[in-house]
Structure formats: C-alpha cells, structure tokens
Amino acid sequence: MTDISWAVVLTADEPASLIQANIAWHLGTGAAEVHLYLDRPDDPVASHLPDDPRLFVTLCDKSHWKGAAPRKRRPDDQMRRQSLNANHAAARSSADWMLHLDADEFLWQDRPLAEELDLIRDLDCEIALPVAERCYETPVEATASMFGGRFRLSTRYRKGFDRHIFGDALPFLHRGLLAHSAGKCAAPLRKGYSLGIHWSYRTEDGARVRSPRYQSSFSRVLHFDGLTPLHWQVKLLRYAAHDVDTLRRLLPKHRLAQVRTLLENDGDAAGAKALHDRLRILPANEISRLDGFGLLLSRRYDLVKELRRVWPHPADLSVGSFDAGLARRYPEIVAYLAPGDPLTAD
C-alpha cells in the first residue's frame, strides 16, 4: 500500500448519466477526489449528483470566473476554461497528484496508479497517460452500448507512415485518431506545476516550459469521443456553430476537416450520420489492417460491468436513455439531426 493520493478534475457540459458515470468510475477506482466544474452555471445536473465528501462541485457562474479568470469573466475558449478550472482545482485539492480529463474519458489502470506514482515520486516529473480511442466494428455495435466497441491506438511513436497506413482517411486523423493523440497527464501538486489540457508546465529561469514526462506502464485513458453516434454528431455541430476564426483557434486541422466535411454535406441528418459511420465504424479489412499494424487493442473493456461493481445504484446507461438526455440538453441540434424521432417530440 502507498500513501500517495490522486484526484481528477473535469469541466463538463453533458447529460447527467455520463457525468454520474465518470464520477462513480474514478471514485470507485482509486481517486481521492473528483473536482467537477459545470460549464453551464444553471446546469440541472447539479441536482443529480451524489452526496459524497470526495466530490467537489463548482458552478461556473459569474462569481466563479471573477475569482478564477485573469480577466474576471468567462473565457470564450473552451480549452482556456478547462485549464483555468484545472488549476483552480489544483490550488484547493488535498491530493498529491491531479489528472485533468474530459467527461468522456475514463482512466483504466492495469495496476493501481498510486503505486506507480509512488515509484516516481522523486523524479520531479509528470506522468503521461497514453490514450486509446473507441471505434466500432459494425453499425449494430455502435448503438448497442454507450461503452461498447474496440479501441484504436495512435501512431505517435511511429511517425512518418500515416499516409501509407490510413490513405484517404488521413485528413481526418491526427496520428491515427479522430480526436487527440496526446493522451493526458497527472502532475504533482505543490511543486510549482501548472496544469494544461494534455500536459503540465513548470517555470524555469523565468520561462514557462513543459514538464519532464514519465510514460505510464500500466494506465491509459479510454476516450469514447462521443458516447453514442448521436453524441458525436452533436459535438461536431456544436463546433460548427462557431465562427471561422474561433474554429481555427479552437480546433486542430484534422477536427476542422471533420467539421468542414459535415458542413459541405449541408450538415443535415443524413450527412452527419454518413460522416460518423464513415469515420467511426471500421470495415472488416480496416480492422484487420489496424490489428496488423498493432494499432488496435485486442482487449475488450466492459465498462458497464465494471461500473456496476463500483457504482451501487447506477443510472440508466442505455443508448436510448443517453440520447434522450442529449435531446433535453440540446433540443434544437437533436431535432435537426433526428427530425421526427420520438426523442424530439414535444
């Protein structure tokens, strides 16, 4: 056993069931604290959270941003809000290490993270947690479970071969993944570190520099990048609502290509679904190809089963229930994507 503790911080604007699952998962698998920042100051999710002394909930209202943001107001940039909240949490946490995650990211530990943190406690570094991104083998698999599917890996440490491996899909990928390939990190607190989205920073000789990294051997981040097909489509349309200049600041080139392709197809329901299926449901030959290149995890992760083990009273984690929550949260977007669907009925 070790006395090292770690905490999770996330800024979220998602249906209650996903946020509840994320909290339950991390508190149930070793986190000493979870710091949740609700991006909507009037978020109804606040009334559906567990009463747990290890959970710290902050509504991101004007009062919060007055104290947390240098300009005393809510930043327009989503990632800026996330990093400010991460460091706000770090400043008040009692844990030894802090990990920044998104709501659709779940830490998987083959061995307890605390044991690895104990081993590197004197190295004065962050610990890098590689990412695996969910994909599907069949359309049925895409709608069967919020947490089903396979997980693909990045080519981050195999540079120079992406064009050969991915062909026509290359513009939509960053090192083999649709979202990010950088993974996430946990940083030691109270040692002069500041948290970013994917890595941490230190100040050396008056300059802010990236922290030294130690690559975890036993833990990784499982990134679902959309818990359901509808969730992924809603995410892209929410991006598409920004003006061009903001999108260029907010999104990397490959994600921008996804949004542009969606808009070129009129951004309608058929086009959004077709883009989702094209990029996230991989045909058998592509599955075999990724497997051959060592870019597909053979392990199947049953998070629903594991959640039931650590979460005594789980919420409804069905695809239908989650999509209904999306419809309540983003009624206009979901009505646009699913016209005539019972989800959008009054």
Residues 6+ apart with CB under 8 A from 214: 120, 123, 125, 126, 127, 128
Instruction: Taking residues 2-29, report their average pLDDT.
Output: 96
Residue 1: is its pLDDT beyond 70? no
Residue 101: is its pLDDT beyond 90? yes
Residue 107: is its pLDDT beyond 50? yes
Of 1 and 17, more confident? 17
Structural contact between residues 54 and 9, judged by C-beta atoms closer than 8 angstroms: no
Q: What is the pLDDT of residue 343?
A: 46
Instruction: Taking residues 188-210, report their average pLDDT.
Output: 91
Instruction: Taking residues 129-142, report their average pLDDT.
Output: 96
Residue 290: is its pLDDT beyond 50? yes
Q: What is the mean pLDDT of the chain?
A: 92
Of 241 and 225, more confident? 225
Q: What string of DSSP letters covers 77-135?
A: -HHHHHHHHHHHHHHH--SSEEEE--TTEEEEESS-HHHHHHHTTTS--EEEE-EEEEE
For 295, other C-beta atoms within 10 Å of its C-beta total: 19
For 107, other C-beta atoms within 10 Å of its C-beta total: 23
Q: What is the pLDDT of residue 341?
A: 53
Instruction: Taking residues 35-42, report their average pLDDT.
Output: 97
Q: How confident is the model over 291-336, as pLDDT tens digits?
A: 999 999 999 888 888 888 888 777 888 999 999 999 999 999 999 8
pTM of the entire predicted model: 0.95
Residue 148: is its pLDDT beyond 70? yes
